[in-house]
Amino acid sequence: MEAWVISTSIILVYVVLVGILGAVAFRRLRVNIEDYFLVSRLAGFFILYLTIVATYHSSYAILTSCGTFYGTGVFFWDAGTWTFITGLCSYILGYRFWILGKKYGYMTPSDLLSDFYDSRFLGFLVAIIMAIFLIPYIVVQAMGLGYIISVASEGVIPYTYGMIALSLFTALYCLVGGLRAVYWTDVFQGIWMFIALWVAGLFLAFTVFKGGIAEVFSILAVEKPALLTVNVPYTYWLSMTFVFSFGIVLQPHLWVRYYTARDPKTLKWLGATTPLYLMFIYVPAALVGFTAAAAVVKGLMPEIVKTYGTVDATLPAMLVKFAPPWFTGILLAGASAAAMSTMDSQFHAFSLVLTRDIYQKINPKAPDTALIRVGRIFIAIAFLLSAWLAVYRPGIIFDIVAFAGAGTLQLLPATIGAIYPTGRFKVTKTAAITGIIIGSIIVIITEFTGRLGLPAWLYRPYGFHGGMIAFLVNIIITLIISLFTKPPSPEKIEKFHKLLEEEIYKK
């Protein structure tokens, strides 16, 4: 039997196994919207921990991080910053989301923001912004699945066919079982992806070179010392810190996680422990990337980009080259887990915000069965859109994820204004709406300067990512407009403030 058949078959068996878990979850589904979209707000620590870390780390963490270490070099200190802040978000943001969601029945980000600012338009705007910037993030997962199956099959299964097949399978179990299916499968996938990447990193380092890790670093110190030097400008590091922490946490598939927690203790433990998983997955990624760079230098491996067209193919290319087929299949199933465990959550979140914040607001008397049916239609739409865009491979995974995070980062000023409604300064409805719109437009303009025929310096002005520039402009606009427009009603401010004060500081 040919090597590619063995490795690809194992990946496909893994995918089927995940589908079976999703089907079992469907049997436990209660036919109501809160169970379909929020697992009845009963997620405990173990389940919620694994689904959050598995959802946060996607094709980016498994494929692109390996490729970034291979092509650019050290960036762990940067990733360490944003993963640490992500853990703090469970305290800073997540706990307050949970308190308000539990009390007032919020299911989406729009529910919270539109209620506090008493603006139906703001609710529609937030839902649309989240849907727009979620699609590129789903595209990333589809691309990752396509790269994995294409490289594993040594090109026999084309990128497009593999991408569509695995994305469709993910959409199907999410469509059937809702968030309960997502949570059940994410527990399995969160464990598998972490173990698989560590095993891959250690295996490759000690298999390709007899001297193992020490020899890898010795080769690079002589041949490619730049890879071992932090070479990211501080302005770009600061940008990525915000984009990949607050920007990603504000994506609906992660925000909604906080609503589903069983109790406050769960969220506190999440804040204390999630950075451990999120940070340490980059260590084996560095081993894979640096081993690949050393192997290319020594002529043991063809240059990745020239051969496969992207640095995102570094991990599967190294495994296909140096690992036995059965081992390659097992480890690449772990890489598939990273993509699928994020993609299923994103399909669900796309469906939730459009069903809850658009359809249900227009049809408030729609029964739960109708809402679930509409939600499933939106999952199908998300699959079709993301698969169509992924065919064209609109860029490297890192840049696409940064674009998605930059877009939702623009919700942060309005969010802070709602969950910290104290003090003399109050964010107003007009300021929140204006800041979100202008910030989002700047993100799009700076990302597509070339296609829009604008000056090239707008792409990364002064070394900042466009999303950070948009965020700073957003803050200034929000502050200025809030000084001259009507704040939220005193009753609403008191309603939020009193509840948060009682829950956070109660003994």
Domain ranges in the chain?
A: 3-394
Q: What is the pLDDT of residue 148?
A: 93
Query: What's the 3-state SS for 267-298?
Result: HHHHHHHHHHHHHHCHHHHHHHHHHHHHHHHC
Q: Is 422 exposed, middle or buried (0-12, 13-18, 19+ CB in 10 A)?
A: exposed
| 89 membership: H or E segment, kind and range | helix 76-89
The span from the CA of 234 to the CA of 214, in Å, is: 29
Q: Looking at residue 456, what DSSP letter applies? A: G
What does the pLDDT read at residue 507? Answer: 46
pLDDT attached to residue 427: 94
Pick the closest to residue 383 from 92, 49, 48, 142 (CA basis). Answer: 142
* C-alpha to C-alpha distance for 160 and 164, rounded to whole angstroms: 6
CATH 1.20.1730.10 fits domain 3-394: yes
Q: State the greatest distance between any 2 C-alpha atoms of the chain, in Å, as a whole number.
A: 73
* C-alpha to C-alpha distance for 285 and 198, rounded to whole angstroms: 8
**Separation between Cα atoms, residue 260 and residue 46, nearest integer Å:** 13
261: which strand partners?
43
CB atoms within 10 A of CB 321: 16
pLDDT of the chain, 507 residues: tens digit per residue: 788 899 999 999 988 888 777 767 666 655 566 666 666 676 778 888 888 888 888 777 788 889 989 998 887 666 778 888 888 888 789 899 999 998 999 999 999 999 999 999 999 999 999 999 999 999 999 999 999 999 999 999 999 999 999 999 889 888 776 666 777 777 788 888 899 999 999 999 999 999 999 999 999 999 999 999 877 778 888 898 999 999 999 999 889 889 888 888 888 888 888 988 988 899 999 999 999 999 999 999 999 999 998 999 999 999 999 999 999 999 998 888 888 888 988 998 899 999 999 999 999 989 888 988 998 999 999 999 999 999 988 887 888 999 999 999 999 999 999 999 877 789 999 999 999 999 999 999 998 887 778 887 788 888 899 999 999 999 999 999 999 999 999 988 988 988 888 887 764
Q: What is the DSSP letter of 40?
A: G
Model pTM score: 0.90
The CA dihedral of 112, 118, 121, 123, to the nearest 10 degrees, is 10
The label of the residue with tokens 């980016």 reads 60
Task: Give SS3 for 261.
Answer: strand
